[in-house]
Structure 1
Amino acid sequence: MANSQKGKIDMTTGHIMRNIILFAIPIIIGNVLQQLYTTVDALVIGKYCGDTSLAAVGTSSQPVEVLLCVFLGIGTGVSILISQYTGARESRKVVSVCGTSITFIYIIGIPIGILGWFAAPYILEFMKVPQDVWNAALIYTRVVFLGTLGNLGYNMNAGILRGLGDSKASLWFLVVSCVSNIVFDLLFVAGFGMDVAGAALSTSIAMFISWIVSIVYIRKKFPEIQFTFLPRRFSGTMMKDILAIGLPVGLNNSLYSLGHVALQTFNNSQGAIFMAGGAVAGRITGCSNIAITGLSSAATTFSGQNYGAKKYSRIKEGHWRIPLCSGLITLSCGLFFIMIHKPIIRFFSSDEMVLMYASRHVVVMLLSQWFFAIFNCIISIVNGTGKVRYTTIVNILMLWAVRIPSAYIINRYFDGTWVMLCFPISFSFGMFAMIGYYLFSPAWKEVMRMAEKNS
């Protein structure tokens, strides 16, 4: 039986897949809610503002991620350390990690929000955003950047809770965020006619609300970790440990998002209609991969807690089962959404060319996302042990050596409206590279050797 004290799941005991599923379910439901409120964004904007505004929102989400991802990756480092210290029952170190992370959020979040406001036009210029989309994209990007502190704070706290083994709380934070976002969307966009500025403002306010709620929850449910609203404690030694794991992950995430900005330039070169089609398709493809994040987060916590507890035999038992489960669920969801996607996309636009491009994008992505599910779960298991170097290299190669070059070749020498084929090409590369790590890496063979010794 999983340990359910205070809503926590102890990954070091009990049935592995039962624990994984119990941990993942709240995150999966949370992903559904996230898709719900991004879908509401698209529906409200599409209905009240039109396809140009829809294209602006679709292209503006990527540059925001570039600056945020490196710090969200550091949040992953916090989560991994907490899961390892929780597994090892080192409560003093858990307190130190949490205190250091609170200080880090403020040191980083406020400057990024300000920097993002001024950097936005240069980023959009680099992305070659079309003139008919430019003004709306600039407004959306700037307003979302203003919500950086709330975004970082919420994601950091959600990572802390996952490391502790509590995935249910993040679901309730997302419920609060979704309801807030939908209410403010209807108020600002439909009611006040604020167009994309209203949609961006709704998102930023919702993130701040979720961050505050998460702080209140942690203080009430886990008083032993001495969580505070404002910075009070900071450990330079602990920050070094956090950066040792989180910085490679964060830099990788940032390079990954920067690569997606580069990919967006290929989409932008096809015009606003193609961009709108991609934005619509993203609502469907996002729904189909809802299991990936949940199972990958569960895999990281599972691996981290058992590595900290030195229960290597449990890692061996789960290191194939968890990725294969994620791949099977993702493939099943993908096939289901392929069957029903055509009537769904008509809710977002009535333009036949937008719908044609959206449909093409949906089919290509959903037939290949199960590769990514397996790849991402293996990476999560390896990262949970703190061995992030190889996974960082594979992620960078998958994007910069495979996805972007293949997108360039498709765009330059073939039909650019099929540029999304670069995703299945890179997904398959990443999956086989991580399977190769399992089979041939000396570091992983050592973990398996210790597992044999454990059993």
Structure 2
Amino acid sequence: MPAYRNSAQIDMTHGSVLGRAALFALPICAGNILQLLYSTVDTLVIGNFCDTTALASVATSSQPLEILLCVFVGIGSGISILVSQAVGRGDRDQLQKLVRTSVWLLFAASLPLTVIGLLLGPWMLRLMQVPADAMPGAVLYLRITMLGILGNMGYNFNAGLLRGLGNSSSSLQLLFISCAANIVLDLVLTGALGLGIGGVAAATAIALFLSWICSIFYIRRCTELALPVLPRGFDAGTLRQIVRIGLPLGLNSALYSIGHVFLQALYNLQGSVFVAGCSVAGKVGGLANITVTSLSQATSVFAGQNLGAQDYRRLRKGGWMIPAASGLLSLAGGLLMAACCRPLLLLFTQDEAVLTFAVRYIRIVLPFQWCYAAFNAIMSFANGMGEIRYATIVNIILLWGVRIPSSYLLAWLGYGGYAMAGVPLSFVAGLLAMLFYYKSHAWADIRAHAEAQESAK
């Protein structure tokens, strides 16, 4: 029987594969809606209380923070994978080592990262060629949100622990608290007090800390994990495991984020109106992306728990069923969103020039979102099995070999206003590449073990 099991935790090693995955994914899906609302409120407040330049400032200031955080967010995903494997084995001792080591790593990484971000953030914005009119606001937003790094990383690490345990519903409750706080603070600081971009940034940073603090209280009170508030040392062997799995995931995310800096630089060259249009399109498009991230996280935990339980028949079944379901759901959502996008976009801006680019972005990108959903689920399955290398290579190729070159080529040919077409091209390339996972030695081993288990029955 897996360790640390309670009513909020889902045992992915028994029952219907899709049923268990859906049960686990639904709270994450709701959480993703809250997270989207979290960032969407910023955009709504800026769009309605400020101007297009402010909207572009917020849109362009997020990439430097993402680059600095992504390595450690990847490590947080590595922690989640190791926790799910330990749960599948029923290894209580290893679970506690993972908890203690993750808290030590949080403080060892986040505080220096905050200082580095404050010093290098403005330089990174200049490197991205942020439009001159948007630069002051972007620097202000970045510096304030950098102060929330500890809360951001702390919540993500703790959410990873809970997901690894099979508990996705508690993260939803914690997100609801922080999202409500963010909305109220946005309206008060920016809407009522007129603090503009600074008010939105401060609301975000405060809400992130609230998320982290609430997650600490929940884990200490509602699970058997003895989560320390402050660092109390670490286990060297466990730290090596976290780094072995989490660092490639983090570096993969870092390369991905750096690639997005190059894309953002290209978008910035098209002007603030283009940037604002792509920004609001991204908020609406994120609705169609909800099932992708939800089922991908469910897939990773499913793979980790069943690997720990050594149930290869279930691994073989879930390894293709969950990606297929994710692709179909995303196809339906993407097509619906592409057809009905304009009324939603009008909530963000009334500027016709901005709306033109936003509608174009959605109708070019979203019909191909299902490709991303399917290959991301396959990638998450491989990650949950601890097989990081293949997924990392595919991610690098689709971004640096397809999306960036095709976007820059379109701009060079004089079609900069259609540079977003590189995104769906990379989705198709990613799906084709990840389908080869089913021809890999790793998948062949799963099939061989599954056949052996069937013969032994």
Fold agreement, TM-score > 0.5:
yes
Deviates more, 1:443-452 or 1:213-222: 443-452
CA displacement 1:329-386 (0-9 Å, x = unmatched): 1111111112221111112112111000000001112111110000110000011110
Local SS of the residue matching 1:129: coil
Using the TM superposition, give the Cα deviation of residue 443 of structure 1 relative to its aligned residue in structure 2, in angstroms.
Answer: 2.0
2:324 corresponding residue in structure 1:
324
1:117 corresponding residue in structure 2:
118
Using the TM superposition, give the Cα deviation of residue 164 of structure 1 relative to its aligned residue in structure 2, in angstroms.
Answer: 0.4
Local SS of the residue matching 1:132: coil
Using the TM superposition, give the Cα deviation of residue 414 of structure 1 relative to its aligned residue in structure 2, in angstroms.
Answer: 3.5
Using the TM superposition, give the Cα deviation of residue 234 of structure 1 relative to its aligned residue in structure 2, in angstroms.
Answer: 0.4
C-alpha separation in 2, matches of 1:113 and 1:453: 51
| Root mean square deviation, CA, Å | 1.2
8 Å CA contact retained: 2:40, 2:283: yes
1:21 corresponding residue in structure 2:
22
8 Å CA contact retained: 1:6, 1:221: no
1:339 corresponding residue in structure 2:
339
Local SS of the residue matching 2:13: coil
1:99 aligns with 2:106: no
Using the TM superposition, give the Cα deviation of residue 453 of structure 1 relative to its aligned residue in structure 2, in angstroms.
Answer: 1.0
C-alpha separation in 1, matches of 2:216 and 2:38: 22
2:165 corresponding residue in structure 1:
164
In the TM superposition, 1:164-203 aligns within 5 A as 164-203=165-204
CA displacement 1:295-347 (0-9 Å, x = unmatched): 00100000000001110110101111100111111111111112221111112
2:419 corresponding residue in structure 1:
419
The total of aligned residue pairs comes to 452
Deviates more, 1:108-117 or 1:332-341: 332-341
Using the TM superposition, give the Cα deviation of residue 46 of structure 1 relative to its aligned residue in structure 2, in angstroms.
Answer: 0.8
8 Å CA contact retained: 1:411, 1:417: yes
1:41 corresponding residue in structure 2:
42
Local SS of the residue matching 1:85: helix
C-alpha separation in 2, matches of 1:77 and 1:113: 22
C-alpha separation in 1, matches of 2:440 and 2:248: 19
Gaps of 5+ in 2: none
- TM-score, normalisation: structure 2: 0.97
In the TM superposition, 1:429-440 aligns within 5 A as 429-438=429-438, 440=439
8 Å CA contact retained: 1:303, 1:384: yes
CA displacement 1:379-431 (0-9 Å, x = unmatched): 00011110101111111111111111111111111400101110111111111
Using the TM superposition, give the Cα deviation of residue 40 of structure 1 relative to its aligned residue in structure 2, in angstroms.
Answer: 1.3
**AA at the equivalent of 1:433:** A
C-alpha separation in 2, matches of 1:114 and 1:194: 24
2:136 corresponding residue in structure 1:
135
**AA at the equivalent of 1:444:** W
In the TM superposition, 1:266-305 aligns within 5 A as 266-305=266-305
1:240 corresponding residue in structure 2:
240
8 Å CA contact retained: 2:5, 2:165: no
2:259 corresponding residue in structure 1:
259
C-alpha separation in 1, matches of 2:384 and 2:121: 34
Using the TM superposition, give the Cα deviation of residue 37 of structure 1 relative to its aligned residue in structure 2, in angstroms.
Answer: 2.2
C-alpha separation in 2, matches of 1:327 and 1:199: 35
CA displacement 1:93-138 (0-9 Å, x = unmatched): 0100110000100011111111111111110011000110000001
Deviates more, 1:261-270 or 1:442-451: 442-451
1:453 corresponding residue in structure 2:
452
C-alpha separation in 1, matches of 2:258 and 2:250: 12
Structure 1 residue ranges (4+ consecutive) displaced by more than 2 angstroms after TM superposition = 2-6
C-alpha separation in 1, matches of 2:38 and 2:167: 23
8 Å CA contact retained: 1:323, 1:373: yes
- TM-score, normalisation: structure 1: 0.98
8 Å CA contact retained: 1:24, 1:167: yes
C-alpha separation in 2, matches of 1:273 and 1:313: 52
1:75 aligns with 2:73: no
2:89 corresponding residue in structure 1:
88
- Percent of matched pairs sharing the same residue: 46
C-alpha separation in 2, matches of 1:101 and 1:4: 20
Using the TM superposition, give the Cα deviation of residue 4 of structure 1 relative to its aligned residue in structure 2, in angstroms.
Answer: 7.3
1:442 aligns with 2:441: yes
Using the TM superposition, give the Cα deviation of residue 451 of structure 1 relative to its aligned residue in structure 2, in angstroms.
Answer: 1.3
**AA at the equivalent of 2:444:** K
CA displacement 1:37-92 (0-9 Å, x = unmatched): 22211111111111110111111111110010010000111000000010011110
Gaps of 5+ in 1: none
**AA at the equivalent of 1:144:** T
8 Å CA contact retained: 2:34, 2:179: yes
Using the TM superposition, give the Cα deviation of residue 142 of structure 1 relative to its aligned residue in structure 2, in angstroms.
Answer: 1.1
C-alpha separation in 1, matches of 2:339 and 2:392: 35
